[in-house]
Structure 1
Amino acid sequence: MVYLHTLWLKIKERHKNRPGQQKVFTDQEEDAFAAHIITVSTFGYPVSTFDLKCIVKSSIERQGKKVKPFKNNMPGPDWVKSFLKRQPQLSQRIAQNITHARAATDEENVKNFFDNLEAELEGIPAENIWNYDETNLVDDPGQTKIITKRGTKYPERIRNSSKACTSLMVCGNAEGQLDPLYINYKSQKLWNTWIENGPANATYDRTASGWFDYQVFEDWFLNLMLPILKRQEGRKALIGDNLSSHLNQQVIEACETNNIRFIPLPPNTTHLLQPLDVAFFPPNEAKMAQNFKRVEGKQLRQQSLFDTKG
């Protein structure tokens, strides 16, 4: 009966749906995905099929939906294939891979980046040029060789560590101003005691890995960085790493709407071209290591004094 009713609807031209399984998204939504892919590609972020899946998944979860054909709201390869067929302006190409050594030392590649950067930053004041980067803190002291009695099978050092990792998002402008820190813990929950006595005006979050995923990056940009950029007049520039977690539809749209130029660094060159990596993190890490050694030395002296008295 169901099939006869469907046939009757087709004869009467009342069956407007396409044959087969119905589309998950409207034409307008799919066009928005395609426009986003083209935009981020012009920014230097070529989108892989996995990146596309992440973009779609983030869009679904932002709307609070649950799409049954997708596993955990992540589209499969069949949907990607069908989507590309429906978007003739998109095509899959094989990206040319280059070695890390070539990327790091290719003078022409670096020169082209600076030529493009000079054109992008023309007329933008120093206070409107921002650079962001993530850094990771781990409380694991690692392993080191020690001197002990011959034959000891399991020499151990007593150290208070949990091998936990905490990520920090640091952002500053060319005038020397730093934004408040965004601190991301490795945890399923964010405990109130973890945000006590922290850096001034810091924002806190958590992920299972401790790293910045697309949701955390979106939260950092939209709720912490974007309000600061909106208060500035004229064009703004935001320089950062070329990572798939930054391929966020909301972030790119917000940049276009608010006259912000999103400038990615060339792949595999952050150790040379990332300003925060080169000039900001190393001296701070050295200072932290120096403080740690001073505290560790003080603890050893106290322990030695205790053993002598004993």
Structure 2
Amino acid sequence: MPKTKSKPSYNFEQCMRRLNKVTPEFDFDSINAKMRKDQPKTKRQFVRKLFLLEERKVISGLTYTEIAGIVSCNEPLVSKARNNRLATKSTRKKSMTLDSSEEEEVCEEIKQYYKDGKIVSPQTLRGIVEQKAGHSVGHSFHQSFHDRHDNELEMQIAKRRDEKRMNVKIQDIRSYIEVLKIWILGVICAFILQLDETGYQAYHDTRPQPIIVPKGVADVPAHLPADRSEPHFSLLAVISLSMEFFNPIFLLKHGFDEQQLINKGLRKNFNCYYYSTENGNMTLEVFKLIVRELLVPHFQYLRNEYNLPNQRGFIISDGCKCHVNHEILQILAENNIALITTPPNSTHYLQVLDLGVFGTYKEHFQQLRRNHHHDTLAELLQLSASAYQMSVCLETLVNSWQKGGIERDTTAWPWRTKISEQKFDGIIKQCEKDNILSKQIGTRVTRKYKQSDFDVLNCDLLKDE
């Protein structure tokens, strides 16, 4: 009698081992803890648990093939488990919709808001509806609400404030090239660091800001202020010309719950760093801590590693007040570190992190978020750390440095710094083109700022090598 092939049995531990292989090590501790809580008893339950964690953004999206491989089942079973979950979710949402009379009242409130000179953003609309319904609504509720009442309401995109065209002087760039040639040409690549910050506002940075107004209104407000009550943080990135990078450095508002970050796999001084400030932006006191705790020890380690105790370190940065404060310059000079700043208004031409890393970081971040706007701060930081790790891959770092005119000479070890004249010629031509364009378009300058200095700002404090 021929043997019949039995179905593979379900083994939770085997499934978790397979899951570990397709999940970044950075995120697996949190996933493992959540999967073991209410441990699934069957393959179908295991698949449903994965989709539940995906909805909560604990794990990134896995393909049906990957899930089928993890659970040792066929793809139709995975599809069936997902469809059952979606059907349950859809049924649950139907009971949350306001009735027609309540929605008419909401429309009248929006019209009254407009008469009173108030802006009705999607957040405002959701707040009104949640107060009436007694429960929360989805982040895209304003879209479906507008579709049902398009004869009374319309959505318009708030216009941004006119900004001063960022003009950079050609002579400043030429002077900057000379500074680089004098100070860093031929220096070992590992001793060249670039640092910069980027901020993130949970909802404000996600998409163009719509406002909801009565039908036929033409005068759109000049701008829509960001909702500062939403989660906000800053990321300080530090990369080297040897294509290495620091773990992400987060700047958070006072009062964050550190235990929540630990639960999400974010461990200070292990896979990330975080500091608290009043508004989540860089301050002088925090930057002094970062210099003393991270940057100075980094250069000391390099000097020991290369057996070059007197080798000077270099940090390239913008002219942020926190970076160029006299106390910072003094600390750096005492540790034989020179601070080089880029010319004013040249971020979009010369700032290496802005030329490649930050754009890639925000693209990855938004893909991981999947346009969800109700994430907690801990969830945002977990996704931000994952997005940052993806954005500092070797190819992105190499391209970013090259766009900024600074390259590696890899003909001999250790690799040395070289300045690309060809890249800087292209940068200067682009500056000339943009300056001509700005004269033709012309924008109204509403504020005058003192032009910041650039060069090696602490050269007078440095001792001769």
Q: Tell me how far apart the structure 1 counterparts of residues 213 and 284 of structure 2 sit (CA, whole Å).
A: 47
Q: 1:291: how far off?
A: 3.1
Letter in 2 for 1:123: G
SS at match of 1:239: strand
- Alpha-carbon spacing, 1:258–1:146, altered in 2? closer, same or farther (3 Å): closer
Letter in 2 for 1:132: L
Q: In the alignment, which of 275, 285, 295 is matched to residue 225 of structure 1?
A: 295
Q: 1:198: how far off?
A: 1.8
Contact kept? 1:218, 1:248, Cα under 8 Å: no
Q: Under a length normalisation based on structure 1, what TM-score does the superposition of the two structures give?
A: 0.54
SS at match of 1:272: helix
SS at match of 1:245: coil
Q: Tell me how far apart the structure 2 counterparts of residues 102 and 164 of structure 1 sit (CA, whole Å).
A: 29
Letter in 1 for 2:248: L
- Alpha-carbon spacing, 1:146–1:290, altered in 2? closer, same or farther (3 Å): farther
The yes-or-no answer on 1:240 pairing with 2:308 is no
Q: 1:194: how far off?
A: 4.4
Letter in 2 for 1:230: Q
Q: Tell me what 2:284 maps to.
A: 214
Q: 1:145: how far off?
A: 4.2
Q: Tell me how far apart the structure 2 counterparts of residues 202 and 258 of structure 1 sit (CA, whole Å).
A: 24
Q: In the alignment, which of 256, 272, 281 is matched to residue 202 of structure 1?
A: 272
Give the total of aligned pairs: 188
Q: 1:214: how far off?
A: 0.4
Q: Tell me what 1:288 maps to.
A: 365
Q: Tell me what 2:252 maps to.
A: 185
Q: 1:192: how far off?
A: 1.9
Render the CA deviation track for 1:156-204: whole Å, top value 9, x for unaligned: xxxxx942210111101011101122211123x2422243112743221
- Alpha-carbon spacing, 1:274–1:255, altered in 2? closer, same or farther (3 Å): same
Q: In the alignment, which of 129, 145, 153 is matched to residue 192 of structure 2?
A: 129
Contact kept? 1:132, 1:239, Cα under 8 Å: yes
Q: 1:107: how far off?
A: 2.1
Q: Tell me what 1:168 maps to.
A: 235
Q: In the alignment, which of 108, 111, 116 is matched to residue 171 of structure 2?
A: 108
- Alpha-carbon spacing, 1:278–1:102, altered in 2? closer, same or farther (3 Å): closer
Letter in 2 for 1:203: Y
SS at match of 1:232: helix
Q: Tell me how far apart the structure 1 counterparts of residues 256 and 279 of structure 2 sit (CA, whole Å).
A: 13
Contact kept? 1:140, 1:162, Cα under 8 Å: no
List aligned pairs for 1:259-274, cutoff 5 A. Answer: 259-274=336-351
SS at match of 2:345: coil
Percent identity between the two aligned chains: 22
Q: Tell me how far apart the structure 2 counterparts of residues 287 and 215 of structure 1 sit (CA, whole Å).
A: 31
Render the CA deviation track for 1:24-51: whole Å, top value 9, x for unaligned: xxxxxxxxxxxxxxxxxxxxxxxxxxxx
Q: Tell me how far apart the structure 2 counterparts of residues 172 and 144 of structure 1 sit (CA, whole Å).
A: 33
SS at match of 1:244: coil
Letter in 2 for 1:218: K
Contact kept? 2:166, 2:345, Cα under 8 Å: no
Q: 1:120: how far off?
A: 1.0
Contact kept? 1:265, 1:273, Cα under 8 Å: yes
Q: Tell me how far apart the structure 2 counterparts of residues 254 and 294 of structure 1 sit (CA, whole Å).
A: 42
- Alpha-carbon spacing, 1:287–1:201, altered in 2? closer, same or farther (3 Å): closer
Q: 1:241: how far off?
A: 1.1
Q: Tell me what 2:7 maps to.
A: none
Q: Under a length normalisation based on structure 2, what TM-score does the superposition of the two structures give?
A: 0.37
Q: Tell me how far apart the structure 2 counterparts of residues 266 and 185 of structure 1 sit (CA, whole Å).
A: 29
Q: Tell me how far apart the structure 2 counterparts of residues 112 and 247 of structure 1 sit (CA, whole Å).
A: 19
Q: Tell me how far apart the structure 1 counterparts of residues 324 and 213 of structure 2 sit (CA, whole Å).
A: 52
Letter in 2 for 1:262: L
Q: 1:205: how far off?
A: 1.4
